[in-house]
Amino acid sequence: MTVRLPLLPRWLRWSAVALVGGFIFYTSVVVAPPATPIDDVKLTLIPLDKWRHLVAYAALAGTLVYATTDWSLERRWTALTVVAVAVLYGIGIEVGQSFRPDRYLSLGDAYANAVGALLVTPWYLLRRYVTFVDVRSGLR
């Protein structure tokens, strides 16, 4: 059994990657996110700011997964490329923050970024059950 999913045009998929990457850059390097009262509350073992990193990099890796879905590389190489790009982007953001007087490089944030990027790896096990259908073919 396969599930049919729409495949948007390549330019739109890569625009989504750029949008998510740009949002991460803007909120991480250009401006510091405002402190909120909930930032100081410890609801779990993982602080809220680490959850934000995890979700942001899962979103980045997720858009990369969708953008690269038509690549002809082997599944493992595509997965490795997607995760590596997201992790390296996270490391680059952390290094970029070190040059800002109000920000700092955090290994904890870099680990949270990497864990978020790794959350997309189960997709590559499920991918064989998915068929992508070009949305333009449905418009004709």
Does residue 132 lie in a domain region?
A: yes
* Residue bearing tokens 């410890």: 42
Q: How many domains does the chain have?
A: 1
Instruction: Say whether pLDDT at 75 is over 70.
Output: yes
Give the integer Cα–Cα distance in Å for 20 and 88: 15
pLDDT of 124:
93
Q: Give residue 127's domain range.
A: 20-31+47-139
Residue 13 lies in a domain: no
Is the residue at 126 inside a domain? yes
pLDDT tens-place string over residues 32-65: 766 665 555 555 677 778 888 999 999 999 999 9
pTM score of the predicted model: 0.88
pLDDT at 139 over 90: no
Question: Using CA atoms in the order 49, 54, 56, 61, what is the torsion angle rounded to 10 degrees?
Answer: 170
Q: Provide the pLDDT for residue 41.
A: 58
Residue 39 lies in a domain: no
